[in-house]
Protein backbone atom coordinates (compact mmCIF):
# COMPACT_ATOMS: atom_id res chain seq x y z
CA UNK A 1 0.00 0.00 0.00
CA UNK A 2 0.96 3.66 -0.38
CA UNK A 3 0.09 5.38 2.86
CA UNK A 4 0.19 9.08 3.74
CA UNK A 5 0.72 9.91 7.43
CA UNK A 6 -0.05 13.28 9.01
CA UNK A 7 0.95 13.98 12.61
CA UNK A 8 2.49 16.47 15.01
CA UNK A 9 6.19 15.86 14.45
CA UNK A 10 7.09 16.47 18.08
CA UNK A 11 7.90 14.31 21.09
CA UNK A 12 4.16 14.11 21.98
CA UNK A 13 2.65 10.63 22.19
CA UNK A 14 0.58 10.98 19.02
CA UNK A 15 3.65 11.95 16.98
CA UNK A 16 5.63 9.06 18.43
CA UNK A 17 2.87 6.55 17.62
CA UNK A 18 2.47 7.91 14.08
CA UNK A 19 6.20 7.87 13.41
CA UNK A 20 6.80 4.40 14.82
CA UNK A 21 3.79 3.12 12.89
CA UNK A 22 5.09 4.66 9.65
CA UNK A 23 8.55 3.16 10.16
CA UNK A 24 7.09 -0.27 10.91
CA UNK A 25 4.80 -0.12 7.85
CA UNK A 26 7.81 0.82 5.71
CA UNK A 27 9.69 -2.19 7.12
CA UNK A 28 6.77 -4.37 6.03
CA UNK A 29 7.19 -3.11 2.46
CA UNK A 30 4.55 -0.39 2.33
CA UNK A 31 5.45 2.99 0.91
CA UNK A 32 4.95 5.61 3.61
CA UNK A 33 4.79 9.36 3.04
CA UNK A 34 4.94 11.67 6.06
CA UNK A 35 3.35 15.07 5.49
CA UNK A 36 4.24 17.40 8.39
CA UNK A 37 5.76 20.81 9.17
CA UNK A 38 9.00 19.29 10.48
CA UNK A 39 10.75 15.99 10.15
CA UNK A 40 9.16 13.84 12.92
CA UNK A 41 11.42 13.53 15.99
CA UNK A 42 11.80 9.77 15.73
CA UNK A 43 12.01 9.59 11.93
CA UNK A 44 15.72 9.01 12.11
CA UNK A 45 16.14 5.97 9.92
CA UNK A 46 16.79 5.81 6.24
CA UNK A 47 14.52 3.43 4.39
CA UNK A 48 13.78 3.18 0.70
CA UNK A 49 10.07 3.09 1.59
CA UNK A 50 9.99 6.25 3.74
CA UNK A 51 9.33 9.70 2.31
CA UNK A 52 8.99 13.08 3.95
CA UNK A 53 7.06 16.06 2.53
CA UNK A 54 7.40 19.31 4.41
CA UNK A 55 4.46 21.66 4.87
CA UNK A 56 5.70 25.22 4.93
CA UNK A 57 3.44 28.13 5.76
CA UNK A 58 4.34 31.53 4.45
CA UNK A 59 4.45 34.15 7.20
CA UNK A 60 3.27 37.08 5.12
CA UNK A 61 2.80 40.06 7.52
CA UNK A 62 -0.96 40.12 6.87
CA UNK A 63 -1.28 36.73 8.57
CA UNK A 64 -1.52 37.21 12.31
CA UNK A 65 -2.30 33.48 12.34
CA UNK A 66 -0.47 31.68 9.52
CA UNK A 67 -3.02 29.37 7.82
CA UNK A 68 -1.30 26.04 8.53
CA UNK A 69 -4.41 23.96 7.90
CA UNK A 70 -4.74 25.34 4.37
CA UNK A 71 -1.07 24.78 3.64
CA UNK A 72 -1.42 21.21 4.91
CA UNK A 73 -4.56 20.57 2.82
CA UNK A 74 -2.81 21.88 -0.30
CA UNK A 75 0.27 19.75 0.34
CA UNK A 76 -1.95 16.69 0.89
CA UNK A 77 -3.66 17.26 -2.45
CA UNK A 78 -0.27 17.46 -4.08
CA UNK A 79 1.17 14.37 -2.41
CA UNK A 80 -1.95 12.19 -2.91
CA UNK A 81 -2.10 13.11 -6.61
CA UNK A 82 1.54 12.77 -7.49
CA UNK A 83 2.49 9.88 -5.24
CA UNK A 84 -0.79 8.08 -5.98
CA UNK A 85 -1.54 7.28 -2.35
CA UNK A 86 -4.08 4.60 -1.43
CA UNK A 87 -5.02 5.96 1.99
CA UNK A 88 -4.36 8.95 4.25
CA UNK A 89 -3.90 8.29 7.95
CA UNK A 90 -4.18 11.43 10.07
CA UNK A 91 -3.23 11.43 13.75
CA UNK A 92 -4.98 13.89 16.07
CA UNK A 93 -8.30 15.40 15.06
CA UNK A 94 -7.31 19.06 15.10
CA UNK A 95 -6.48 20.29 12.52
CA UNK A 96 -5.43 17.12 10.72
CA UNK A 97 -8.83 15.50 10.21
CA UNK A 98 -10.37 18.73 8.95
CA UNK A 99 -7.40 19.45 6.64
CA UNK A 100 -7.75 15.89 5.29
CA UNK A 101 -11.47 16.49 4.65
CA UNK A 102 -10.65 19.64 2.70
CA UNK A 103 -7.99 17.81 0.70
CA UNK A 104 -10.46 14.98 0.01
CA UNK A 105 -13.02 17.42 -1.40
CA UNK A 106 -10.43 19.10 -3.63
CA UNK A 107 -9.17 15.73 -4.84
CA UNK A 108 -12.66 14.83 -6.06
CA UNK A 109 -12.28 17.56 -8.65
CA UNK A 110 -9.27 15.64 -9.96
CA UNK A 111 -11.28 12.43 -10.12
CA UNK A 112 -9.63 10.99 -7.00
CA UNK A 113 -11.34 9.64 -3.90
CA UNK A 114 -8.80 9.34 -1.10
CA UNK A 115 -9.95 7.28 1.89
CA UNK A 116 -9.12 9.04 5.17
CA UNK A 117 -8.46 7.25 8.48
CA UNK A 118 -8.41 9.46 11.58
CA UNK A 119 -6.79 8.29 14.82
CA UNK A 120 -7.95 10.00 18.00
CA UNK A 121 -5.19 10.20 20.60
CA UNK A 122 -6.68 11.82 23.66
CA UNK A 123 -6.22 15.51 24.23
CA UNK A 124 -7.76 16.18 20.80
CA UNK A 125 -10.98 14.85 22.37
CA UNK A 126 -10.65 15.31 26.12
CA UNK A 127 -9.16 18.82 26.18
CA UNK A 128 -9.20 20.50 22.81
CA UNK A 129 -12.31 18.73 21.61
CA UNK A 130 -14.38 19.79 24.59
CA UNK A 131 -13.55 23.42 23.90
CA UNK A 132 -16.78 24.62 22.27
CA UNK A 133 -14.76 26.68 19.78
CA UNK A 134 -13.69 23.53 18.00
CA UNK A 135 -16.66 21.25 18.64
CA UNK A 136 -18.48 21.63 15.28
CA UNK A 137 -15.28 21.10 13.29
CA UNK A 138 -14.13 18.13 15.36
CA UNK A 139 -17.57 16.48 15.17
CA UNK A 140 -17.83 17.05 11.43
CA UNK A 141 -14.35 15.89 10.57
CA UNK A 142 -14.64 12.71 12.64
CA UNK A 143 -17.98 11.90 11.01
CA UNK A 144 -16.55 12.59 7.54
CA UNK A 145 -13.55 10.30 8.03
CA UNK A 146 -13.82 6.97 6.21
CA UNK A 147 -12.35 5.19 9.22
CA UNK A 148 -11.83 6.29 12.80
CA UNK A 149 -9.68 4.66 15.46
CA UNK A 150 -9.16 5.50 19.13
CA UNK A 151 -6.23 4.39 21.26
CA UNK A 152 -8.37 3.01 24.10
CA UNK A 153 -11.93 1.91 24.94
CA UNK A 154 -12.11 4.85 27.30
CA UNK A 155 -11.28 7.36 24.57
CA UNK A 156 -13.83 5.73 22.27
CA UNK A 157 -16.42 6.07 25.02
CA UNK A 158 -15.52 9.74 25.69
CA UNK A 159 -15.70 10.57 21.99
CA UNK A 160 -19.27 9.22 21.77
CA UNK A 161 -20.08 11.04 25.00
CA UNK A 162 -18.73 14.49 24.06
CA UNK A 163 -19.61 14.61 20.34
CA UNK A 164 -22.55 13.59 18.16
CA UNK A 165 -20.75 10.82 16.33
CA UNK A 166 -22.58 8.71 13.78
CA UNK A 167 -19.72 6.54 12.63
CA UNK A 168 -18.01 3.44 14.07
CA UNK A 169 -14.84 3.95 16.08
CA UNK A 170 -12.42 1.04 16.19
CA UNK A 171 -10.09 0.70 19.17
CA UNK A 172 -6.47 0.04 18.25
CA UNK A 173 -4.27 0.49 21.31
CA UNK A 174 -0.81 2.04 21.38
CA UNK A 175 2.02 -0.39 20.75
CA UNK A 176 5.66 -0.87 21.61
CA UNK A 177 8.67 -2.11 19.71
CA UNK A 178 10.01 -4.52 22.32
CA UNK A 179 13.29 -5.02 20.49
CA UNK A 180 14.13 -1.36 21.05
CA UNK A 181 13.03 -1.31 24.68
CA UNK A 182 14.69 -4.47 25.95
CA UNK A 183 18.04 -2.87 26.78
CA UNK A 184 20.38 -4.10 29.45
CA UNK A 185 20.99 -1.44 32.10
CA UNK A 186 24.30 0.38 31.65
CA UNK A 187 26.20 0.00 34.94
CA UNK A 188 28.11 3.27 34.60
CA UNK A 189 24.89 5.19 34.03
CA UNK A 190 23.17 3.55 36.99
CA UNK A 191 26.20 4.38 39.17
CA UNK A 192 26.19 8.00 38.06
CA UNK A 193 22.50 8.36 38.86
CA UNK A 194 22.35 6.29 42.04
CA UNK A 195 25.92 6.00 43.39
CA UNK A 196 24.89 4.30 46.64
CA UNK A 197 22.47 1.87 45.07
CA UNK A 198 19.43 4.11 45.62
CA UNK A 199 16.17 3.16 43.90
CA UNK A 200 15.51 5.16 40.72
CA UNK A 201 12.07 6.64 40.04
CA UNK A 202 11.31 8.15 36.63
CA UNK A 203 8.69 10.46 35.18
CA UNK A 204 8.56 11.44 31.51
CA UNK A 205 6.11 13.90 29.99
CA UNK A 206 5.67 17.22 28.26
CA UNK A 207 5.19 18.91 31.66
CA UNK A 208 1.71 20.20 30.89
CA UNK A 209 -0.91 20.71 33.61
CA UNK A 210 -2.73 17.51 32.63
CA UNK A 211 0.36 15.52 33.73
CA UNK A 212 0.21 16.84 37.34
CA UNK A 213 4.01 16.92 37.52
CA UNK A 214 3.93 18.55 40.97
CA UNK A 215 2.25 15.36 42.22
CA UNK A 216 5.29 13.47 40.94
CA UNK A 217 7.53 15.55 43.18
CA UNK A 218 5.17 15.19 46.15
CA UNK A 219 4.99 11.40 45.73
CA UNK A 220 8.77 11.28 45.59
CA UNK A 221 9.02 13.40 48.74
CA UNK A 222 6.95 10.69 50.51
CA UNK A 223 9.03 7.83 49.09
CA UNK A 224 12.40 9.27 50.02
CA UNK A 225 11.35 9.49 53.67
CA UNK A 226 11.40 5.66 53.75
CA UNK A 227 13.52 4.49 50.79
CA UNK A 228 16.87 5.93 49.68
CA UNK A 229 16.00 6.99 46.15
CA UNK A 230 16.54 9.35 43.22
CA UNK A 231 14.01 10.89 40.85
CA UNK A 232 14.65 11.53 37.16
CA UNK A 233 12.32 14.03 35.50
CA UNK A 234 12.49 13.66 31.73
CA UNK A 235 10.96 16.12 29.27
CA UNK A 236 10.18 19.78 29.32
CA UNK A 237 7.21 22.10 29.28
CA UNK A 238 5.36 24.86 31.08
CA UNK A 239 5.18 23.15 34.49
CA UNK A 240 8.89 22.40 34.77
CA UNK A 241 10.07 25.52 36.61
CA UNK A 242 7.24 25.21 39.16
CA UNK A 243 8.36 21.63 39.80
CA UNK A 244 11.95 22.68 40.25
CA UNK A 245 10.86 25.23 42.83
CA UNK A 246 8.72 22.62 44.60
CA UNK A 247 11.74 20.31 44.85
CA UNK A 248 13.63 23.09 46.63
CA UNK A 249 10.64 23.87 48.89
CA UNK A 250 10.26 20.22 49.89
CA UNK A 251 14.00 19.81 50.43
CA UNK A 252 14.41 17.03 47.84
CA UNK A 253 16.21 19.00 45.12
CA UNK A 254 19.55 17.21 45.65
CA UNK A 255 17.88 13.90 44.80
CA UNK A 256 15.99 15.03 41.72
CA UNK A 257 17.49 15.54 38.28
CA UNK A 258 15.67 17.32 35.47
CA UNK A 259 17.06 15.83 32.27
CA UNK A 260 15.05 17.82 29.71
CA UNK A 261 13.97 16.25 26.42
CA UNK A 262 15.74 12.99 25.71
CA UNK A 263 15.78 10.82 22.60
CA UNK A 264 17.13 7.62 24.12
CA UNK A 265 14.40 7.20 26.69
CA UNK A 266 14.97 3.44 26.77
CA UNK A 267 18.47 3.98 28.23
CA UNK A 268 17.04 6.01 31.10
CA UNK A 269 14.21 3.55 31.70
CA UNK A 270 16.66 0.64 31.72
CA UNK A 271 18.08 1.88 35.05
CA UNK A 272 14.67 2.70 36.58
CA UNK A 273 12.84 0.83 39.36
CA UNK A 274 9.51 2.64 39.24
CA UNK A 275 7.61 4.93 36.86
CA UNK A 276 5.24 7.65 38.09
CA UNK A 277 2.26 8.83 36.03
CA UNK A 278 -0.18 10.80 38.23
CA UNK A 279 -2.02 12.32 35.21
CA UNK A 280 -5.33 14.13 35.43
CA UNK A 281 -6.36 12.42 32.22
CA UNK A 282 -4.56 9.98 29.95
CA UNK A 283 -6.24 8.30 27.02
CA UNK A 284 -3.73 5.46 26.97
CA UNK A 285 -0.39 6.33 28.60
CA UNK A 286 2.25 5.45 26.01
CA UNK A 287 5.04 6.62 28.33
CA UNK A 288 3.88 4.08 30.91
CA UNK A 289 3.90 1.32 28.28
CA UNK A 290 7.47 2.30 27.34
CA UNK A 291 8.42 1.99 31.01
CA UNK A 292 6.73 -1.42 31.33
CA UNK A 293 8.56 -2.63 28.23
CA UNK A 294 11.77 -1.84 30.15
CA UNK A 295 10.52 -3.92 33.12
CA UNK A 296 9.52 -0.88 35.15
CA UNK A 297 6.32 -1.09 37.25
CA UNK A 298 3.98 1.90 37.15
CA UNK A 299 2.27 3.96 39.83
CA UNK A 300 -0.48 5.86 38.04
CA UNK A 301 -3.89 7.37 38.48
CA UNK A 302 -6.96 5.45 37.37
CA UNK A 303 -7.85 8.22 34.89
CA UNK A 304 -8.94 7.65 31.29
CA UNK A 305 -7.50 4.57 29.61
CA UNK A 306 -4.80 3.87 32.22
CA UNK A 307 -6.71 0.92 33.76
CA UNK A 308 -6.64 -0.70 30.31
CA UNK A 309 -2.85 -0.78 30.55
CA UNK A 310 -1.69 -0.75 34.16
CA UNK A 311 -3.11 -3.67 36.15
CA UNK A 312 -3.74 -2.73 39.79
CA UNK A 313 -1.63 -4.81 42.17
CA UNK A 314 0.05 -6.66 39.29
CA UNK A 315 2.04 -4.28 37.09
CA UNK A 316 1.85 -1.41 39.58
CA UNK A 317 -0.95 0.44 41.33
CA UNK A 318 -3.73 2.82 40.33
CA UNK A 319 -5.06 5.56 42.61
CA UNK A 320 -7.53 8.41 42.29
CA UNK A 321 -6.29 11.63 40.70
CA UNK A 322 -4.54 13.72 43.38
CA UNK A 323 -4.14 10.85 45.87
CA UNK A 324 -0.47 11.64 46.44
CA UNK A 325 -0.42 9.83 49.76
CA UNK A 326 -1.87 6.64 48.28
CA UNK A 327 0.56 6.72 45.37
CA UNK A 328 3.46 7.31 47.77
CA UNK A 329 2.39 4.34 49.94
CA UNK A 330 2.05 2.08 46.91
CA UNK A 331 5.47 3.13 45.65
CA UNK A 332 7.04 2.31 49.02
CA UNK A 333 5.20 -1.03 49.13
CA UNK A 334 6.74 -2.05 45.80
CA UNK A 335 10.22 -0.70 46.49
CA UNK A 336 10.73 -1.87 50.07
CA UNK A 337 10.92 -5.59 49.25
CA UNK A 338 13.38 -6.74 46.60
CA UNK A 339 11.47 -9.96 45.73
CA UNK A 340 8.23 -8.06 45.44
CA UNK A 341 9.88 -5.42 43.26
CA UNK A 342 11.27 -8.12 40.97
CA UNK A 343 7.85 -9.76 40.66
CA UNK A 344 6.27 -6.42 39.69
CA UNK A 345 9.05 -5.89 37.16
CA UNK A 346 8.39 -9.28 35.55
CA UNK A 347 4.65 -8.59 35.50
CA UNK A 348 5.19 -5.18 33.88
CA UNK A 349 7.21 -6.71 31.05
CA UNK A 350 4.71 -9.54 30.54
CA UNK A 351 1.89 -6.99 30.23
CA UNK A 352 3.92 -4.81 27.82
CA UNK A 353 4.34 -7.85 25.56
CA UNK A 354 0.57 -7.83 24.96
CA UNK A 355 1.06 -4.50 23.14
CA UNK A 356 3.92 -5.66 20.97
CA UNK A 357 4.21 -3.95 17.60
CA UNK A 358 4.02 -7.34 15.88
CA UNK A 359 0.51 -7.82 17.30
CA UNK A 360 -0.84 -4.31 16.75
CA UNK A 361 0.61 -3.50 13.31
CA UNK A 362 -1.61 -6.00 11.43
CA UNK A 363 -4.65 -4.39 13.05
CA UNK A 364 -3.79 -1.12 11.28
CA UNK A 365 -2.91 -2.86 8.00
CA UNK A 366 -6.20 -4.79 7.98
CA UNK A 367 -8.14 -1.68 8.92
CA UNK A 368 -6.62 0.27 6.00
CA UNK A 369 -7.62 -2.54 3.62
CA UNK A 370 -11.14 -2.62 5.06
CA UNK A 371 -11.53 1.15 4.67
CA UNK A 372 -10.06 1.19 1.16
CA UNK A 373 -12.42 -1.61 0.17
CA UNK A 374 -15.40 0.23 1.66
CA UNK A 375 -14.48 3.32 -0.37
CA UNK A 376 -13.78 1.64 -3.68
CA UNK A 377 -17.11 2.55 -5.26
CA UNK A 378 -17.18 6.06 -3.82
CA UNK A 379 -15.02 7.40 -6.57
CA UNK A 380 -17.42 6.18 -9.25
CA UNK A 381 -20.28 7.69 -7.29
CA UNK A 382 -18.70 11.05 -6.43
CA UNK A 383 -16.06 11.75 -9.05
CA UNK A 384 -18.09 11.12 -12.20
CA UNK A 385 -18.50 14.32 -14.12
CA UNK A 386 -16.42 16.21 -11.59
CA UNK A 387 -12.99 15.34 -12.80
CA UNK A 388 -11.50 18.43 -14.38
CA UNK A 389 -8.01 17.05 -14.56
CA UNK A 390 -7.61 13.32 -15.02
O1 LIG B 1 0.19 13.15 26.52
C2 LIG B 1 0.25 14.16 25.85
O3 LIG B 1 0.10 15.28 26.30
C4 LIG B 1 0.57 14.06 24.38
C5 LIG B 1 -0.58 13.44 23.67
C6 LIG B 1 -0.45 13.61 22.19
O7 LIG B 1 -1.47 13.70 21.57
O8 LIG B 1 0.62 13.68 21.62
O9 LIG B 1 -0.67 12.08 24.08
C10 LIG B 1 -1.89 11.42 23.90
O11 LIG B 1 -1.65 10.43 22.92
C12 LIG B 1 -0.80 9.35 23.32
C13 LIG B 1 -0.59 8.43 22.12
O14 LIG B 1 -1.78 7.87 21.67
C15 LIG B 1 -1.42 8.63 24.51
O16 LIG B 1 -0.63 7.53 24.90
C17 LIG B 1 -1.54 9.63 25.67
O18 LIG B 1 -2.17 9.00 26.75
C19 LIG B 1 -2.38 10.83 25.22
N20 LIG B 1 -2.34 11.85 26.27
C21 LIG B 1 -3.41 12.21 26.97
O22 LIG B 1 -4.51 11.71 26.82
C23 LIG B 1 -3.20 13.28 27.99
Percent of the chain with pLDDT over 70: 95
Helices (H), 6-67: 13-27
CA of 286, closest atom in ligand 1: 16
CA of 10, closest atom in ligand 1: 8
pLDDT single digits (tens) 32-52: 999 998 887 777 667 889 999
pLDDT grade, residue 390 (50/70/90)?
Answer: very low
Q: How far is the CA of 233 from the centre of ligand 1 (A)?
A: 18
**What is the rounded CA–CA span in Å between residue 170 and residue 156?**
8
Q: Tell me what pLDDT residue 386 has.
A: 59
Q: Which of 17, 92, 95, 121 to mutate to test the pocket of ligand 1 (most atoms within 8 A of CB)?
A: 121
Query: What is the per-residue burial (b if ≥16 Cβ within 10 Å, else e) of 348-372?
Result: bbebbeebebeebbeebeebbeebb
286 lines ligand 1 (CB under 6 A): yes
Please compute Rg for the chain using Cα positions.
22
CA of 208, closest atom in ligand 1: 3
Q: Verify cis geometry, omega within 30 degrees of 0, for the bond prior to 95.
A: yes
Per DSSP, the chain holds a count of helices (H) and strands (E) of: 16, 13
Q: Which of 282, 288, 293, 310 to mutate to test the pocket of ligand 1 (most atoms within 8 A of CB)?
A: 282
312 closest CA partner among 325, 322, 326? 326
- Report whether 287 contacts 211 (CB < 8 A): no
Q: Tell me what pLDDT residue 171 has.
A: 98
285 lines ligand 1 (CB under 6 A): yes
pLDDT at 214 over 80: yes
Q: Tell me what pLDDT residue 380 has.
A: 73
Residues in contact with 264: Cβ distance below 8 Å, sequence separation at least 6, in sequence order: none
pLDDT grade, residue 385 (50/70/90)?
Answer: low
14 lines ligand 1 (CB under 6 A): yes
Q: Tell me what pLDDT residue 280 has.
A: 96
- Average pLDDT along the chain: 92
pLDDT at 131 over 80: no
- Report whether 277 contacts 203 (CB < 8 A): yes
pLDDT single digits (tens) 295-310: 999 999 999 999 999 9
12 lines ligand 1 (CB under 6 A): yes
pLDDT at 387 over 60: no
Region 263-269: mean pLDDT is: 89
Question: Structural domains in the chain?
Answer: 2-175+357-389 (3.40.50.2000), 187-353 (3.40.50.2000)
Q: pTM of the full predicted structure?
A: 0.93
Q: Tell me what pLDDT residue 250 has.
A: 97
pLDDT grade, residue 382 (50/70/90)?
Answer: confident
Q: How far is the CA of 283 from the centre of ligand 1 (A)?
A: 6
282 lines ligand 1 (CB under 6 A): yes
Residue nearest (by alpha carbon) to ligand 1 atom 23: 282
Q: How far is the CA of 314 from the centre of ligand 1 (A)?
A: 23
- Residue 48 CB neighbours (<10 A): 8
Residue nearest (by alpha carbon) to ligand 1 atom 5: 13
123 lines ligand 1 (CB under 6 A): yes
User: Among the listed ranges 11-25, 212-226, 271-285, 319-333, which one has the minimum average pLDDT value?
Assistant: 11-25
Q: Tell me what pLDDT residue 140 has.
A: 95
20 lines ligand 1 (CB under 6 A): no
Q: Which of 286, 289, 290 to mutate to test the pocket of ligand 1 (most atoms within 8 A of CB)?
A: 286
CA of 91, closest atom in ligand 1: 7
pLDDT at 243 over 80: yes
Q: How far is the CA of 93 from the centre of ligand 1 (A)?
A: 12
- Report whether 47 contacts 26 (CB < 8 A): yes
User: Among the listed ranges 3-12, 136-145, 147-156, 297-306, which one has the minimum average pLDDT value?
Assistant: 3-12
pLDDT at 142 over 70: yes
Q: Tell me what pLDDT residue 238 has.
A: 96
- Residue 64 CB neighbours (<10 A): 5
Region 349-368: mean pLDDT is: 97
pLDDT at 194 over 60: yes
Q: Tell me what pLDDT residue 384 has.
A: 61
Q: Tell me what pLDDT residue 378 has.
A: 81
Q: Tell me what pLDDT residue 389 has.
A: 45
Residues in contact with 170: Cβ distance below 8 Å, sequence separation at least 6, in sequence order: 147, 148, 149, 150, 367
pLDDT at 369 over 90: yes
212 lines ligand 1 (CB under 6 A): no
Q: Which of 284, 285, 291, 306 to mutate to test the pocket of ligand 1 (most atoms within 8 A of CB)?
A: 284
Residue nearest (by alpha carbon) to ligand 1 atom 12: 13
Q: Tell me what pLDDT residue 145 has.
A: 97
Q: What share of the chain is helix, strand, coil (3-state, %, to 5)?
A: 45, 15, 40
Q: How far is the CA of 14 from the centre of ligand 1 (A)?
A: 6
pLDDT at 178 over 80: yes
Amino acid sequence: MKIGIVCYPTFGGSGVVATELGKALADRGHQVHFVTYNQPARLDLFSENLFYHEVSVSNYPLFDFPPYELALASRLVDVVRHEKLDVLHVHYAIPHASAAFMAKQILLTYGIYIPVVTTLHGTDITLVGKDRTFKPVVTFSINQSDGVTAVSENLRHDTYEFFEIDTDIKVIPNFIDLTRFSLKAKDHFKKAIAPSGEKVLVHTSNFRKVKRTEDVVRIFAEVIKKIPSKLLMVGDGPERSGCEQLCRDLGVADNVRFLGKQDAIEEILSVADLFLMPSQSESFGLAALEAMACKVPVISTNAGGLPELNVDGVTGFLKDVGDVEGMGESAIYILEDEDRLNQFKENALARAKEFDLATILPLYENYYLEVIDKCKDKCKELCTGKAKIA
